[in-house]
Amino acid sequence: MIHTIDLEFQGEKQSIASYVVETSEGPIIIETGPHSTFPTLEKGLNAIGFSADDVKHVFISHIHLDHAGASWVFAEKGARIYVHPFGEKHLHNPEKLLNSAKRIYQDKMDELWGTLKPIPKDQLIVADHNDAFQVGNTHLKALYTPGHAVHHLAWEMGDIAFSGDVAGVKIDDNLVIPPCPPPDINIEDWRASIALLRSRNYREIYLTHFGKHLSPNDILDDLEDRLVRWANWIKPFFDKAVPAEAIVPEFQLFVEEELRKSGASDEEVRSYDKANPAYMSVYGLLRYWKKKNSS
């Protein structure tokens, strides 16, 4: 059985999910969310009959704080944390990751994300493409899916996938949109990752932002189209060397109009913004074009 726990990030519903999978050897968690929402995650575990101490295996898609920020808490309770090789060193020594986040979020860091503590290396399980793991009667396979981040994995469990950010952000029946924060956005890699997931013909896909969705390939098709259009929307601004600060208001309006045309409510628009702030995509896509232009 799979349980979806809404972490109610910053008081908004359907912004960040954590998934609890019941196995014959106890619960596993896929995506911990940030450290700041750990009390909500713990409450969700209690509601389905578990405690945080029961969790001995945690699978994360990538090391961004909204996905893996509370992994160290479970490690302190004895859990093993499964992560891509490129992310392992940052969970073992999170100083660089923490300092990078502090530069962006400054005095809001604690409120948004909480903190990070090192995870011992012997509790970090490196997972590369097609690596398979078994916990009791449950099998999971890691699929390397870069594009959003160079350390991104999707987790396959039979005919379903836990997609992290590679399959986008989709709340209820509204649009699926691509989260494009700096520094790793690569459109070509992302499209290849979308093609990989599409080829698996999943029955269901579980998005960290947010929830279970049917018709995964329709979502992936829509995401790929919007990813390319967003990148091309930013390109003329990059060509004219328009500063990011001047682009952000126009891009925020562009994204909000897309969401409202799809029928998103005020609450859903706020949830999208918490899960995927539009301004971050401006910085990420500008960086993408800069790297592409210099290569």
Question: For the residues 105-115, what does the mean pLDDT come to?
Answer: 84
d(CA 70, CA 114): 9
Domain 2-232 classification at class level: alpha beta
pTM, 2 dp: 0.95
Question: For the residues 91-100, what does the mean pLDDT come to?
Answer: 87
User: For position 288, what pLDDT does the model report?
Assistant: 97
d(CA 197, CA 193): 6
What residues does each domain of the chain span?
2-232
User: For position 97, what pLDDT does the model report?
Assistant: 84
Tell me the pLDDT tens digit for each residue of 207-221.
999 999 999 999 999
Tell me the pLDDT tens digit for each residue of 11-31.
989 999 999 999 999 999 999
Helix or strand or coil: residue 171? coil
Token look-up 């490690």 returns 75
Kindly state the tokens that stand for 59: 């699978």
SS (H, E, C) 56-88: CEEECCCCCHHHHCCHHHHHHCCCEEEECHHHH
User: For position 107, what pLDDT does the model report?
Assistant: 79
Question: For the residues 125-146, what does the mean pLDDT come to?
Answer: 97
